[in-house]
Structure 1
Amino acid sequence: MDLPASVDVAVIGGGQSALAFGYHLRRIERGRTARGLPPLRVVVLDAHPAPGGAWQDMWPTLHLFSPAEHSSLPGRLMPGTSEEYPDAAHVVEYLTDHERRFGLDVRRPVRVFSLTAGRAGGLVLRTDDGVLDARHVVNATGTWDRRFIASLPGLGTFRGQVLHTRDYRDAESLEDARVLVVGGGNSAAQIAADLLGTAAVVRWAARRPPQFLPDDVDGRTLFEVASQAVAARAAGEEHAGVGSLGDVVAVASVRRARDEGGLVARAMPARFTPDGVQWPDGSTERFDAVVLATGFRPALDHLRGLGLTWRGGHPAASAPPGSPFPVRSADDPRLWFLGYGDWCGAASATLVGVGRPARDLATALVTALDEEA
């Protein structure tokens, strides 16, 4: 399917953020067309070959931190499952159905390489499927495509297998291997728990001792605390945020591994060696593989040619009138951001957290389009 020559809005990314935005945009459009205004020309460009966003690339045993009824996008509740927390496959099914129900024009697979200023006042998107002119662009690319590799002494000399979170598929692929998992967050804990009992040896290393959240604390509490933190900071008050609660949510697999004593993090190795690591006490240990659960960064390399101001690893953004969420570029009013985490909305990188920033973004963007017209 060929790309249109021009659109009012181009959305880059077809995952959960794009779907939340698309839902709110459709609601606004119904009101506009009822007043006799022409429909907006909107296209979603998704680099994945199928619906589901980055969830379809994650390891099968990964689980959400909240029950299904508290993990929904706007417009439709996520169906329940037999498990306490849904797995990645269930999320993919939910996102696929959400996309179908609300009839978004999604083109895939289409990868955007660059954005430049257009002569007619819009932005020009260069893709592997052609060139597209857009009056406004919403970036909803997430972070999955831009992994972060921490600087670890000697890692380049290690002759074993080096995986990142996004490369990990299942414990069976590392059966009987000696594996070191590096990182202090939820991904590291879930991967280490997954490997226990299948890999020959599993070690977990972090820069500081990870703190497990109480067993009754999950994503529902985290979202509430994150929202409270944003409101407090906006009022000029101090708030410790979710970091004060702990690092790791005790989903079933993690809770079981922790209680059985197999999930204990140790200090980071002093350095890597060709055959493994040297620990701070001078002792050495052999490993066949290392899994780096060291996080991600916003996947926004396609914006580098626009000369934007970057702060803290992401483009500077501001909040449109009537919204607390900094979802609009501070340098280019045609450019918008959604779903990258706290810098553009509290917990906006989560299924339940992206809804409100998506609503405000859709409202502000349509207002901007109408004012331009």
Structure 2
Amino acid sequence: MVVIGGGQAGLATGFYLRRSGLVPGADFVIVDAAEQPGGAWARMWPTLRTFSPTQYSSLPGWMMPPWTGDSGYPPAAHVVDYLTRYEQRYNLAVRRSVSVRSVTRGDGGLLHVHSDRGEWTADQVVSATGTWSRPFIPTYPGRFSGRQLHTADYRQASDFAGDRVLIVGGGNSAAQILAEVSTVAETTWVTLRPPRFLPDEVDGRALFEIATARHRARQAGGPDTGGVGGLGDIVMVESVREARDRDVLQAREPFARLVDHGVRWRDGSESSFDAIIWCTGFRPALGHLRTLGLRGHDGLVPTDGTQAVKESRLHLIGYGDWTGPASATLIGAGRTARELVTHL
């Protein structure tokens, strides 16, 4: 068996494979394109916070060590350290700097995994490559001559000291980056719809339980409860609450087009900016599965749980709710990986 991706979803899958009696490196192998452990967390900006305290942000088998600052919400570096030690603790033998180029069907009911470091033949393949390597920026007419970057490229607020900064996006990343950058720069926030803030007491644990209940209800043929969508989109971590107290969480509707010095709004007026930060999300990194011809009209691979509908030997985990309830979160990845391995 080959697990493609050594981030949180791949490690959780490896834990359950190992617990089922399979030997890492012999019965299964985890390959990862990065040189260092930590998955996407190793590439996120240092001040990013998880949405839940450590006791609700852990993988199976070993709880993340406590983080006592910032209301218990650990930063990215704490998560990277935890994932690094988790990999070592369970001797998952992740093979790194391995870039998988394609997965193809072979003879005898096997799949071939082709990479820049060789080829593996497997009875089953688990794809856990996530989304961080595929940042999405929407297309707007016009051209902006100033600095532009995506969430994936953002590092620190001080890079924008004294600037006029436009932040585009209505999710958690946008809110956290806005909260930081607004302390050193003049900021404008653009969202497709008015931002919806969760109650202060609601964190990632509650969101996961609600998403799970919705998934189970739908599987049982019951009514769609709407999941977390009815509560809001943005978790009120400490920095975002502070930004609310400074009254900077004010968003306006999208602009009509880019112009050389900034943007033109729908009423014809224009605003000048030095930089635009696109907090507009990511797309699943599925290029290595293109040769299997599995994608649906929406660009995703149709799945039954984690199993690809058109290729029973392939499972996907960690891309979003379509591959398991909250499977792109730390706690969700663990629970989805348990179901995946039980199925296998």
Could you state the TM-score of these two structures normalised by the residue count of structure 2? 0.96
Shift of 1:140: 0.5
- Give a deviation string over 1:144-175, Cα, whole Å, max 9, x none: 11111222232xx1111111110111112222
> Is 1:253 paired with 2:239?
yes
Structure 1 portions without partners, runs of 5+ = 1-8, 34-38, 319-325, 366-373
Q: By how many angstroms is 1:343 displaced?
A: 0.3
Match of 1:371 in 2: none
Q: Structure 1, residues 16-66: CA drift from partner, whole Å, max 9, x if none?
A: 001111111111117xx9xxxxx9521111111111000000001100110
Contact 2:148 2:277 in 1 (8 A): yes
Is structure 2 residue 191 aligned with structure 1 residue 234?
no
Q: Partner letter of residue 338 of structure 1? A: I
- In our comparison, the structure showing a higher alpha carbon Rg is 1
Supply the distance in 1 between the matched residues of 2:35 and 2:152 (Cα, whole angstroms): 17
Alpha-carbon offset, residue 288 of structure 1:
1.1
Contact 2:169 2:279 in 1 (8 A): yes
Q: 1:99-120 deviations in whole A, cap 9, x for unaligned?
A: 0010112111111111111234
Sequence identity of aligned pairs in percent? 53
Deviations 1:109-148 (CA, angstroms, capped at 9, x unpaired): 1111111112343112221112222221100001111111
Counterpart in the other structure of 2:205: 220
- For 2:147 and 2:111, locate their aligned partners in 1 and report how far apart those are by CA, in whole Å: 42
Aligned to 2:77: 89
The alpha-carbon deviation at position 308 of structure 1 amounts to: 1.4
> Which residue among 173, 194, 201 is the counterpart of 1:209?
194
Gaps of 5+ in 2: none
Amino acid at match of 1:49: E
Q: Aligned pair 1:330/2:315, yes or no?
A: no
Question: 1:311 and 1:235, CA in 2 relative to 1: closer, same or farther beyond 3 A?
Answer: farther
Does structure 1 residue 131 correspond to structure 2 residue 110? Answer: no
What is the identity, as a one-letter code, of the residue corresponding to 1:225?
A: I
Q: Is the 8 A contact 1:15 1:52 kept in 2?
A: yes
Deviation at 1:278, TM superposition (A): 1.1
Matched, 1:98 2:86: yes
Which residue does the alignment assign to 2:323?
Answer: 344
Aligned equivalents of 2:320, 2:14: Cα separation in 1: 19
| CA distance in structure 2 between the aligned counterparts of 1:122 and 1:173, rounded to whole angstroms | 50
Tell me the SS of whatever aligns to 1:345. coil
Which residue does 2:140 correspond to in 1?
Answer: 152
Q: Distance in 2 between matches of 1:301 and 1:206?
A: 29
Letter in 2 for 1:312: D
Number of the residue aligned with 1:276: 262
SS at match of 2:125: strand
The 5 A counterparts of 1:169-180 are 169-180=155-166
Counterpart amino acid of 1:280?
R
**Structure 1 residue 207 displacement after superposition:** 0.8
Q: Deviations over 1:81-105 (max 9, x none)?
A: 1222011000001101110010112
1:266 corresponds in structure 2 to 252
What amino acid does structure 1 have at the position aligned with 2:127? N
Instruction: Name the counterpart of 1:356.
Output: 335
1:216 alignment partner AA:
E
- Equivalent-residue separation in structure 2 for 1:274 and 1:291 (angstroms): 16
Q: Give 1:59's aligned residue.
A: 45
Instruction: Give yes or no for the alignment of 1:75 onto 2:61.
Output: yes
Taking the aligned partners of 1:40 and 1:338, their CA distance within structure 2 comes to 22
Matches within 5 A, 1:4-43: 9-29=1-21, 41-43=27-29
Alpha-carbon deviation of 1:309? 4.1
CA deviation after TM superposition for structure 1 residue 269, in Å: 1.1
Corresponding residue of 1:314 = 300
Deviations 1:254-309 (A, max 9, x none): 11001111121111112110110112222211111111111111111111111214
Q: 1:122 aligns with which of 81, 106, 110?
A: 110
Q: Distance in 2 between matches of 1:64 and 1:313?
A: 28
Shift of the alpha carbon at 1:311?
4.7
1:188 to 174, 179, 184: 174
In structure 2, C-alpha distance between the alignment counterparts of 1:235 and 1:223, rounded to whole Å: 18
1:303 aligns with: 289
Q: Is the 8 A contact 2:87 2:93 kept in 1?
A: no
Aligned residue pairs total 341
Return the letter of the residue paired with 1:246: G
- Quote the Cα distance in structure 2 between the aligned partners of 1:120 and 1:177: 61
Q: Could you tell me how far apart the structure 2 residues matched to 1:364 and 1:240 are? A: 27
Contact 1:309 1:331 in 2 (8 A): no
Distance in 1 of aligned mates of 2:189 and 2:260: 19
